[in-house]
Chains A and B, each alone.
Chain A
Amino acid sequence: MKGLEPLIFEISKPGRKAYSLPELDVPVKSVDSLLPEQHLRERPAELPEVSEVDVVRHFTRLSQLNFGVDIGFYPLGSCTMKYNPKINEEAASLPGFNDIHPYVPEDLAQGCLELMYDLQNYLAEIAGMEHVSLQPAAGAHGELTGILIIRAYHRSRNDHKRTKILVPDSAHGTNPASAALGGFTVVEIPSDERGGVSIEHLDKAMDDTVAGLMLTNPNTLGLFDENIEKIEEIVHSRGGLLYYDGANANAILGISRPGDMGFDVLHFNLHKTFSTPHGGGGPGSGPVAVKEFLEPFLPVPTVTFDGQKYNLYYDRPQSIGRMKSFYGNFLVMVKAYAYIRALGPDGLRRASEDAVLNANYIMRKILEYYDLPYDRHCKHEFVVSPSRIKKETGVRTLDISKRLLDYGFHPPTNYFPLIVDEALMIEPTETESKETLDAFCEALIAIAKEAYENSEVVKSAPHTTVVGRLDEAAAARNPNVRWRKPE
């Protein structure tokens, strides 16, 4: 079976090599004399044997098979695929930030610690909260951190009967998963006819067995929950806490603060809102912010400043503990810090404003062909449904997404949120120009027309990509997850 680019193993040739190591300048002893035989490897691992130019060409050619923000428009809903400023990458590659072991004495790491301390404070200010832990490695990791903090809080008050977490049916899939991992039973709350949390159902569900509510606001429909004050009152008055999923925070920077809305704990995604690149799936960073009364439960360590020196602070006996080793994804923090410093308060607010403007603009331009389940101003993203197109032509969301590839765009998020049939979730971000948005709208409209005029061309898309639709069912039925040398 021929591939687009051979596997690195397939171009391997015995005796070829890329590496060079320093001369071994110490007296050499036989390995057997240093290590007992039972610990030694008998057969070498089959890593490839290739030259340096092989390595470079292989990965360079591979890279050309991929799409990224630097190539084109990437309106993937709830993922905030904004432009990743290049100065951030340069800052994160400075030797002072890279050649530094996490266990060097704090005196030698004052630059790292100062950056972390300031970033903690910036994020707290943006959140409208008092304290921040930078430790979580990703959004879902931050969610789990927050859920464990909620759990620790209730337990500290000897309140053991709160075993449930409420999650709206529009929530990101990680919310219920994180709550379950934190040891809670998940209770789903339906949405109302305006796309917000159903107050009626919340009112019924919220009792003294509920530890808290996880909410994304604006939610995954891109809608700000107009009843947030009522929600806050219901949850807090009955002893629950409010968790804010910051995946959609790109809509609210400097415009509204989760802490002011009444949330007690939140996570941000530095790789979404704060412009750090997604890296093909990571590394991300998911800092957690809390109100003052939850500070005792934050993970250790956090960074403190005594007026002269920055320190790692561990003295938190009620802490939930550690979420990962060391202090978090530091180089990702460097990029987010640089971004906040570049934009300043005014720039952050304008980023959110333009993100919301861009989303509303696309939404209004495609309505002739795509249905809007909730006709309101959206925030930074929105969800439409090609349900009419599907009914009349058989063309589905998946087909439209694949056809968009032929037009040179990354498709929106598909089939999410689950409460909208055939959902297409579109998030343009603020870093896209009107021309790009216009071209994208034209493509969506052209595809809708194609569905009626020549539906086969949409249903069999993509036609211009390096591979066609891949057989996922076969991949799952008989998993081939590693290469083996042919016998």
Chain B
Amino acid sequence: MNFLPNTDKDREEMLKTIGVKSIDELFSDIPPALRFEGDLDLPPAMSEHDLAKHMIDLANKNKATGLVNFIGAGAYDHYIPAVVRHVISRSEFYTAYTPYQAEISQAVLQSIYEYQTMICELTGMDAANASMYDGASAAAESVTIAAGLTKRKRALVSRTVHPETRAVIKTYAAGHDLVVEEVDFENGVTSKEHLLSSIGTDVCCLVLQQPNFFGNLEEVDDLSQVVKENGATLIVSVNPISLGILKPPAEYGADIVVGEGQVFGNPMAFGGPYLGIMAVNQKYLRRMPGRLVGMTTDDQGRRGFVLTLQTREQHIRRERATSNICSNQALNALAATVYLSWLGKKGICEIGEQCLQRAHYLADRISELEGFSLAWQAPFFNEFTVKCPMDADKVVDALIKKNILAGYPLGRFYPEMKDHLLIAVTEKRTKEEMDDLVAGLEGLA
């Protein structure tokens, strides 16, 4: 296969216009020693039919489809309505570049403006950008904002924040010579006592996750107060689908809200592409990285949308830039916008309540089992941690034989918790599926 429309005759005519004898001549400025001779060691070309078959064969080597999924831990198995794929498959959206030419990019621009509005509504914040690479990198860039604003070099991150988010924060911090310290947890939530002993007026921020990685709801009001007293920035990483029923972070003092937007209409897809949500209060608006769309008018007074506050960005600030982010996850943000339009004002509450009710049903059933118990007493939304009578890895392996993905074994990230299993429940999990999981666990005890 190739996608070259030029015929040999076209090529001949074009070479003549250029005034060269061969295409090779166009490469004469490459030093001879650096010209690659022969063919790259790659498999030979395929017809579309052969390729289609090959891709299906590869996809079928994955054996997860059809298993009942209780794994969450940062990516969630929510239903994606048909309208989402329908809209994002329109090639006016997906074959466009960044909307630099506003006159022919109003679809992308207006849909981002709608997305920004929805994220502001959910989080309670003043402004949201057009999206970041993912929730983890959004959190990492937030720490950079906080350090820049406060001119402080020490960042605190709770140990209840997703371990991969913490890892990305540390990677990004290296370039800024920031010191990242972790705040320990107690009873499954961030320890206020440990926070008090760690924080000081040299701390730029605290990063929290709500609900936290274990599924528990943090005592955010208390923690927020401590952060404010020290003049630091409060960064909260949310599961955004929880915000239909949970308090918007703006109301407990979040300065920057980030989150993994995959839950809004994007498939789990082995980890990506997803979208990083970022929303800030007014004070941080001009420090927020990434693209931002604003409303304006054209020369005849008609409403239109443009990329705005671009002076913040790398293509203008170059070496003075505080972020290098260039692309966003526009198509994923569009999926989120379509999803949230479909769900609407009532649906976002109802789906939150469904997750809550189903998760609590399952938690109650499991805690009745001999040998299994809930690890903590803290309130939770759609995810909770179970202490098992054996290694959680063994539980997962055993349940796969019953076509169930039982959850995520926490031992991988918390070596002291090898017998802890993190279980997530979405609106998709039926009573019957949950009862099957309970029966499977019962058989193990």
Contacts and interface: CB of A to CB of B under 8 A. Distances in A.
A400 to B, nearest CB: 13
Nearest to A37: B247
Nearest to B351: A21
Contact of B271 (A46, A143, A325, A465): A325
A361 B12 CA distance: 11
B427 A21 contact: yes
Contacts, number: 699
B226 interface: no
A140 B314 contact: yes
B185 interface: no
A66 B106 contact: yes
Contact of A281 (B2, B101, B130, B302): B130
Contacts of A174: 314-315, 324, 326
Q: Which of B58, B99, B381 has the most CB of A within 10 A?
A: B58
B271 A321 contact: no
Interface string A327-371: 111111010001011111111111101101110110011000000
Contacts of A29: 357, 360
Interface in A51-109: 52, 55-56, 58-60, 62-71, 74, 76, 79, 81-85, 87, 89-91, 93-105, 107-109
A50 B340 CA distance: 10
Contacts of A91: 51-52, 55, 59
A442 interface: no
B165 interface: yes
A348 B40 contact: yes
Contact of B97 (A261, A278, A469): A278
Interface string B75-110: 101000101011101111111111101111111101
A31 B356 contact: yes
Given A96-B60, A104-B405, A280-B98, A342 B1 contact: yes
Interface stretch (A198-206, A450-458, A479-487): A479-487
A137 B137 contact: yes
A472 interface: yes
Given A18-B342, A357-B14, A100 B168 contact: no
A410 interface: yes
B69 interface: yes
Contacts of B93: 63, 66, 68, 279-280
Contacts of B5: 431-434
B6 interface: yes
Interface stretch (A1-9, A236-244, A388-396): A1-9
Contacts of B281: none
B110 A7 contact: yes
A482 B116 contact: yes
A476 B271 contact: no
A340 B432 CA distance: 44
Contacts of B1: 85, 342-343, 347
Contacts of B91: 68-71, 84, 277
B233 interface: no
Contacts of A410: 97, 101, 104
B238 interface: no
Nearest to A184: B175
A67 B117 contact: no
Interface in B176-209: 176-177
B26 A360 contact: yes
Main secondary structure of the interface of A (DSSP, over half): loop
B127 A481 contact: yes
Contacts of B293: 481
A103 B71 contact: yes
User: Looking at B6, B170, B174, B247, which has the most chain A CB atoms within 10 Å of its CB?
Assistant: B6
A60 B90 contact: yes
Contacts of A321: 167-168, 170-171, 174
Contact of A282 (B86, B331, B346): B331
B97 A18 contact: no
Contacts of A469: 103, 298-299
A341 B54 contact: yes
A167 B321 CA distance: 15
Contacts of B117: 7, 9, 482-483
A69 B97 CA distance: 9
Contacts of A102: 75, 268, 270-272
B175 A325 contact: no
Contacts of A180: 319-321, 324
A255 B174 contact: no
Contact of A58 (B48, B94, B341, B381): B341
Contacts of B308: 472, 475-476, 479, 481
A4 B302 CA distance: 8
B353 interface: yes
A188 B18 CA distance: 34
Interface string B1-34: 1111110001101110111100101111111011
Interface in A273-290: 275, 277-285
A112 to B, nearest CB: 5
A108 B244 contact: no
A157 interface: no
A483 B18 CA distance: 52
B247 A41 contact: yes
A149 to B, nearest CB: 11
B87 A482 contact: no
Contact of A27 (B108, B317, B320, B361): B361
B349 interface: yes
B245 A226 contact: no
A434 B58 contact: no
Contacts of A55: 83, 87, 338, 341-342
B30 A256 contact: yes
A93 B330 contact: no
B73 interface: yes
A467 B405 contact: no
Contact of B272 (A7, A89, A177, A329): A329
A279 to B, nearest CB: 3
A66 B104 contact: yes
Contact of A351 (B2, B134, B174, B327): B2
A300 to B, nearest CB: 9
B231 interface: no
B175 A34 contact: no
A377 to B, nearest CB: 5
Most chain B C-beta atoms within 10 Å of own C-beta, residue among A48, A177, A253: A177
B249 to A, nearest CB: 11
Identify which of B18, B64, B350 gathers the most chain A CB atoms within 10 Å of its CB.
B64
A474 B297 contact: yes
B314 A228 contact: no
Contacts of A19: 81, 342-344, 346-347, 350-351
A372 to B, nearest CB: 13
Contacts of B306: 470, 472, 475
Contacts of B95: 68-71, 84, 277-278
A162 interface: no
Contact of A139 (B52, B99, B326): B326
A178 interface: yes
Interface in B231-257: 243-248
Interface centre among A82, A148, A151, A361 (most CB of B within 10 A): A361
Given A283-B332, A480-B295, A112 B62 contact: yes
6 contacts: A18-B343, A103-B73, A177-B321, A226-B29, A255-B36, A326-B270
Q: Which 4 A-B pairs have the closest CB atoms?
A: A326-B271, A96-B59, A344-B45, A111-B61
Given A18-B341, A24-B357, A324-B137, 10 more contacts: A47-B121, A62-B110, A97-B62, A126-B42, A188-B319, A279-B329, A358-B6, A377-B26, A470-B297, A481-B285
